[in-house]
Amino acid sequence: MRTAKRNSLFLLLALVALACQRAQSQAPQKAAAQSDAAVYETRAKHDPDGIGKFYLGREIAHVMGYQGASWLERPERIEEEQPDKVVAQMKLKPTDAVADIGAGTGYFSFRIARAVPQGKVYAVDLQPEMLAIIEQRKKQFSAANVVALQSTETEAKLPDVVLMVDVYHEIAYPLEMMRSIVKAMKPGARFIQIEYRGEDPTVPIKAVHKMTVAQCRKEMAAVGLVWKETKDFLPQQHFIVFEKPPKP
Ligand SMILES: C[S@@+](CC[C@H](N)C(=O)[O-])C[C@H]1O[C@@H](n2cnc3c(N)ncnc32)[C@H](O)[C@@H]1O
């Protein structure tokens, strides 16, 4: 990545981190009440890009505020994150129900919607402002099979496939959120996690916004998901497939 491009990426992430405080305060209070405090550790000395809260040895990142929504739609993302290839690699059936958790502007949701014409896409996000953008784009694209949902409503949806792109590292209550998602998934359903590669220092993304495969596997094992495969076709990210064990 050229220096100017990298600098603008860092600048944008810094702006987004500043904007995130508000989004963080919107995290459902219910989750806090339900949290198993013992699994989280708070450290006074921490990365300024993180929230000072650690889960299984990893610091959780700030939520990317809706003020940075245009960054999600940047044209160079097509080359950097290859969204059409990601959707092709999801190997979806036309009837699949897919949950795009932390959907943001629906960058992936609307692409997935074309791959599941007889199915549904649940575009789930924490921030109402992101959901408003999704609703607006749903009209613009006449995408009747996209349903915008606030994150607390995932439990009843039982999707076949759950996708999280560049989201998991900033979920403030990963244990509670993943338990709720796993509970909502059908036995045998897949959970696909895409994260910037934490093992690679040349990936120009802040440390708490990246994850290693080992860390992802540790955190998904903690909620009973079984690792199936890691695909490394993306220039900067891991594409990791987990499965909810089929019923015995
Ligand atoms: C970096 S953006 C990625 C958006 C989208 N996945 C993409 O790749 O274009 C992260 C998104 O995750 C959302 N998010 C963070 N924590 C969440 C949670 N607990 N439940 C649902 N969405 C969450 C944020 O509101 C934000 O829209």
Q: How far apart are CA 187 and CA 12, in angstroms?
A: 39
Distance of CA 106 to the CA centre of its chain: 11
- Provide the residue type at 141 as one letter: F
15, pLDDT greater than 80: no
**Cα-flanking dihedrals φ and ψ of residue 73, to 5°?**
-105, 15
Q: Please name which of 167, 235, 208 lies closest in space to residue 53, comparing C-alpha atoms.
A: 208
155, pLDDT greater than 80: no
Q: How far apart are CA 176 and CA 129, in angstroms?
A: 23
Three-state DSSP at 131 gives helix
Mutation to probe ligand 1, out of 111, 170, 234 (largest number of atoms < 8 A from CB): 170
Q: Please name which of 78, 50, 77 lies closest in space to residue 62, comparing C-alpha atoms.
A: 50
Look up the pTM and report it: 0.83
Q: How confident is the model at residue 35 (pLDDT cuts 50, 70, 90)?
A: low
Q: Which domains does the chain have, with CATH numbers?
A: 2-23+66-243 (3.40.50.150)
Q: Average pLDDT, stretch 102-129?
A: 96
Q: How far apart are CA 33 and CA 22, in angstroms?
A: 19
Q: Tell me, what's the pLDDT at 151? A: 74
Q: Average pLDDT, stretch 27-43?
A: 65
pLDDT in tens, 70-88: 999 999 999 999 999 999 9
Q: Average pLDDT, stretch 16-25?
A: 39
21, pLDDT greater than 60: no
pLDDT in tens, 170-197: 999 999 999 999 998 989 999 999 999 9
- Classify burial at 33, counting beta carbons within 10 Å of its beta carbon; exposed 0-12, middle 13-18, buried 19 or more: exposed
Distances (CA, A) of 125 to 26, 136, 151, 187, 203: 11, 15, 5, 23, 26
Q: How confident is the model at residue 158 (pLDDT cuts 50, 70, 90)?
A: low
Tell whether ligand 1 has an atom less than 6 A from the beta carbon of residue 104.
yes
Tell whether ligand 1 has an atom less than 6 A from the beta carbon of residue 185.
no
Tell whether ligand 1 has an atom less than 6 A from the beta carbon of residue 181.
no
Q: How far apart are CA 100 and CA 162, in angstroms?
A: 6
Strands 226-231 and 237-243: antiparallel
**Beta partners for 194?**
165, 239
19, pLDDT greater than 70: no
Strands 161-165 and 146-150: unpaired
Q: How far is the CA of 130 from the centre of ligand 1 (A)?
A: 9
Q: Tell me, what's the pLDDT at 37? A: 74
